[in-house]
Structure 1
Amino acid sequence: MDNTNGNGAPVPPPQGNGGYTAPNQPTQPGQPTQPGQSAQGAQPLPHHAQHSQQGYYQQPAYQAPSAQPVEPAKKSTGPKTFLLAFAGAALACIIALSGFGIYNAMSGGSGSSDSGSSTVIGSSGNGSIDATDDDATLAEAVAQKALPSVVAVDVYTSQSSGMYGYGAGSGSDASSLTQSSLGSGVVLSEDGYIITNYHVVEGGEAFKVTIEGEEYDAEVVGTDPSSDLAVLKAQNATGLTPIEIGDSSDLIIGEWVMTLGSPFGLEQSVATGIVSATSRSQIMNSQTDGSTMIYANLIQTDAAINPGNSGGALVDADGKLIGINTLITSYSGNYSGVGFAIPVNYAVNIAQQIIDGKTPTHAQLGVSLSTVNEQIAKRYGLAVNQGAYVANVSEGSGAAEAGIEVGDIITKFNGTTITSADELMLQIRALNPDDKAEVEINRNGQTETLEVTLGSDESTQAATQQQSQGAGSLEDLLRNYGGNGYGSDGYTS
């Protein structure tokens, strides 16, 4: 989300009955208004947790972990969510776990390639796994089909500093590069396009990928930090085995799944489990570049996900890709039965845009927002005590055309009650540009329902990724009214 502070129109102070004029909604979320709390009040505290290669290995090449035990991470008072790229030092970056619950599908369709694209994503096969009901036999058949498409990713930097181990910069001597982190990826095309997580490649200066035992140099084709996705290209690769793409829109809680990747650098590892839940959502902030990662409609699974599994595959009983392994919630930083994957329909759509040379786009309402809570509502005499306050409305946006005004408080989006700016941003990210949505607002104490056609954040994506993390409260917006701009308040969506 973009922080529009210095560019938006000033927000007037509350008027007698708590009514307002109108602001803008976010394109990418900033840091939650109240750190340590989720958009829906979830209790667990998430972490970005990435382990340095040095914690388990002494050499750049993959090796079995040393027999010497690794010092365990310190526990905190609550479970945490971890990004798992196997980079950095230990556990860090406590960020609020946002509320669970959003729409069941990130986007329609199965995530197949665009008809005009020169690169075909995914296998052309349509076969189902022919196996008995015996779990061991099914697991063997699925592993045999999917493992050739799963990649180990080695990330090299000129020095290992910080959680992500990113290096000294583009001017560093290539001969000084050392392996700083490990992750996983999934082959999307025969000529070497690979999807992985952004946090796997973030800060890396050189990359190698191992596919079916063969090592290739790789380059980053493009990234979408807000979705935590990236595409690598294995150099001079031909005849690879692309994964068969499944459909994440019709998953059933309890259905059988398998995770594949390189946990702790152990390549070609698999684990089985079930879909524990769908529609899990949260917002997290990178502590290295200030980018905001918006995770909408994550797939929850109890199939093992550990450091190094990030960017790997979550497949169904037919060996079809249904998600990209990304996060865990854990006290220790290692597997505890609660892992999350980005739905394939959304992930492959972003990857296709990157491969086609486009800037990945997301749905945008066209407003800047701040959270309304009970304390703010009481202090400023607002008519409602929860929702997303509109601090600015972008000219020509879907919000402006629908009649949303500065000072409106958005209380529902497509029938879902909105309790914070974070929650509204997650709801919007679950949709696509040009989708229509019903937005319920409170204006001067009166409730209205407006139909909005969502726009695209393409024109603001570059600026969005450069914004500082965090967004101020409504209290700050109102307190700063009449001064020189706003400070640094507001989410843009």
Structure 2
Amino acid sequence: MTDMHGVTPEGGAQPPKPGEEHAQHTAPAGQQPSYQQTYQQSSYQAPVQPQGYRAPAPVSVERKSHGLRTFLLAFCGAALACVIGLGGFAIWQAATGNSGGSSDDGQHTQLGAQSSGSVDAGDEDPTLAEAVAKKALPSVAAIDVYTNQSSMGGLYGYGYGSGANSGADSNTLTQSSLGSGVVLTEDGYIITNNHVVEGADALKVTVGGEQYDAEIVGTDPSSDLAVIKAKDASGLAPIEVGDSDELIIGEWVMTIGSPFGLEQSVATGIVSATSRSQIMDSGTDPFSGQSTGEPTIYANLIQTDAAINPGNSGGALVDADGKLIGINTLITSYSGNYSGVGFAIPVNYAVNIAQQIIDGKTPTHAQLGVSLSTVNAQNAQRYGLPADSGAYVARVNPGSGAAEAGIEAGDIITKFDGGAVESASDLMLAVRSKNPGDKVTLEVNRNGETKEVEVTLGSDDSSESASTQQQSGTSQESLLDRLFGGGSGSQQNAA
């Protein structure tokens, strides 16, 4: 018999006899039990009688029968012995930490919270991803971008460089990057990211197995959105549009696009978070050293762990019904590739911008009508400002919603609709999340006194923007120079 505890008797002794195994468990730690001693302790010898001893004559005794009482007493004694034995064994187990693989008797201490009810996930359809992909894939296009100069590769974390010949003739179109897009109409209007098509001299799109030449219809760099048109296209499959305002964290989603040029690729995940916002500074042209445009404002982005890689930009984020809920746009990554944190522009916002472009309008956004700088503890102490955080109003545009509400230069805006404003960027993102005509409440610190002001947001249409640019001259720059000790170029933000 094999010793299950990995110990064998000394000297090759025989296994214990029945009834002796318990000695193996109760022997003191580090000491082997003596099987011989155990056996001797249980033996019996008759006592020796003295010489000349005569046994007394037998006495006849009449015995009364107490069979039932005897049986009951014996049974109770045996039961009590079992209880004592089991109790002692349980105490020994608790003291040694040996569970012995025994089954749970329900008497142990509960670790962690008790269940508050089961999660009813419903019957998961194993073909869900297949069904969604079948519905949405025909509505997602691959976009090839061609330029007249040597390829610079895709934008970091965004596009996907093709490695075109750096010595190519400047008059020869070469593929410089690629991305994805989503079909909005049967006749070929496709929404994508502005950074996918920015600087393109020619475009080709592949959708539904067919390739088309394409042209840019319009762009909105500040939102990183663009609309292109597949030439001579008809009968395409427009995607079904969902409602990004109804998204729930944890909801199942799928990304569709052309990561690294691998067309018609899908990946699944969940909505990790909503209302992620950030501002990306304008880039710089590596040849001229000039700014490539205005900052891009990403408000209320959808965060997902479904894979988004270079080439996925402009592609679709769809829900479990195959409806478009976002345009894949950004990733957070140290390598430039998928790291589990990607972002998409909400479809409600994106489609509104696309509709304006298709209608031939210049896309507009909500605007407060002020020029801002960030207040922090350092400049507040230096210049004696009444607040150590917020958005300092450097200028109020005449005729704007801020001007009509009584906002003045020198005010420090500290709250927007009840939410704290820590910087000029915070206020810009808060304004961009609204629509022209919306009413908002600002908390303003003016010369140390706090007041609430209701403002009706205006629109940053082309005429107002042009007027603002003409009026943001020397007086504004001198104000910022005086207040913050530097040029307005790096300090000023418009909202």
- TM-score category (smaller protein): 0.5 to 0.7
- 2:283 equivalent to 1:282: no
* One-letter code aligned to 2:430: Q
Q: How does 1:32-47 map to 2 (within 5 A)?
A: none
- 2:132 equivalent to 1:142: yes
Per-residue deviation at 1:492?
A: 1.4
The runs of 5 or more residues in structure 1 that have no matched partner are: 1-131, 167-171
- 2:337 equivalent to 1:334: yes
Task: Report the secondary structure of 1:349's partner residue.
Answer: helix
Per-residue deviation at 1:463?
A: 8.4
Once the two structures are superposed, residues 114-159 of structure 1 have per-residue CA deviations (whole angstroms, 9 ceiling, x without a partner) of xxxxxxxxxxxxxxxxxx9435400000000000000000000011
* One-letter code aligned to 2:182: V
- 2:472 equivalent to 1:476: no
Per-residue deviation at 1:479?
A: 5.4
- 2:419 equivalent to 1:423: no
The residue number in structure 1 matching 2:445 is 442
In structure 1, what is the Cα distance between the partners aligned to 2:391 and 2:201? 40
In structure 1, what is the Cα distance between the partners aligned to 2:266 and 2:478? 44
The residue number in structure 2 matching 1:177 is 173
Change (3 A) 1:462 1:192: farther
Change (3 A) 1:293 1:257: same
The residue number in structure 2 matching 1:76 is none
- 2:393–2:408 Cα contact (<8 Å) kept: yes
In structure 2, what is the Cα distance between the partners aligned to 1:252 and 1:243? 21
The residue number in structure 2 matching 1:390 is 393
- 2:180–2:258 Cα contact (<8 Å) kept: yes
Per-residue deviation at 1:213?
A: 1.1
Change (3 A) 1:343 1:473: farther
Q: How does 1:118-197 map to 2 (within 5 A)?
A: 133-134=123-124, 136-162=126-152, 176-197=172-193
In structure 2, what is the Cα distance between the partners aligned to 1:309 and 1:216? 19
- 2:495 equivalent to 1:490: no
In structure 2, what is the Cα distance between the partners aligned to 1:472 and 1:281? 28
In structure 1, what is the Cα distance between the partners aligned to 2:200 and 2:468? 21
Change (3 A) 1:486 1:158: closer
Q: How does 1:202-213 map to 2 (within 5 A)?
A: 202-213=198-209
- 2:272–2:304 Cα contact (<8 Å) kept: yes
Point out the structure with the larger helix share.
2
The runs of 5 or more residues in structure 2 that have no matched partner are: 1-121, 156-160, 162-167, 286-291
Task: Report the secondary structure of 2:332's partner residue.
Answer: strand
TM-score for both structures, normalised by structure 2: 0.67
In structure 1, what is the Cα distance between the partners aligned to 2:493 and 2:482? 12
Change (3 A) 1:383 1:434: same
Once the two structures are superposed, residues 74-128 of structure 1 have per-residue CA deviations (whole angstroms, 9 ceiling, x without a partner) of xxxxxxxxxxxxxxxxxxxxxxxxxxxxxxxxxxxxxxxxxxxxxxxxxxxxxxx
Task: Report the secondary structure of 1:330's partner residue.
Answer: coil
In structure 2, what is the Cα distance between the partners aligned to 1:293 and 1:440? 26
The residue number in structure 2 matching 1:350 is 353
The residue number in structure 1 matching 2:415 is 412
Per-residue deviation at 1:160?
A: 2.8
Q: Which has the higher contact order (CA 8 A, sep 6+)?
A: 1
Structure 1: which 4+ aligned runs deviate by more than 4 Å?
161-166, 172-175, 460-466, 471-475, 485-489
* One-letter code aligned to 1:324: I
TM-score for both structures, normalised by structure 1: 0.68
- 2:273 equivalent to 1:268: no
Change (3 A) 1:140 1:218: same
The residue number in structure 2 matching 1:376 is 379
Task: Report the secondary structure of 2:306's partner residue.
Answer: coil
Change (3 A) 1:153 1:491: same
The residue number in structure 2 matching 1:112 is none
In structure 1, what is the Cα distance between the partners aligned to 2:233 and 2:468? 34
Structure showing greater radius of gyration is 2
Task: Report the secondary structure of 2:494's partner residue.
Answer: coil
* One-letter code aligned to 1:344: V
In structure 2, what is the Cα distance between the partners aligned to 1:184 and 1:395? 41
- 1:189–1:242 Cα contact (<8 Å) kept: yes
* One-letter code aligned to 1:254: G
* One-letter code aligned to 2:241: I
The residue number in structure 2 matching 1:47 is none
- 2:370 equivalent to 1:367: yes
| Identity across matched positions, percent | 75
Per-residue deviation at 1:322?
A: 0.1
The residue number in structure 1 matching 2:214 is 218
In structure 1, what is the Cα distance between the partners aligned to 2:464 and 2:234? 36
- 2:255–2:318 Cα contact (<8 Å) kept: yes
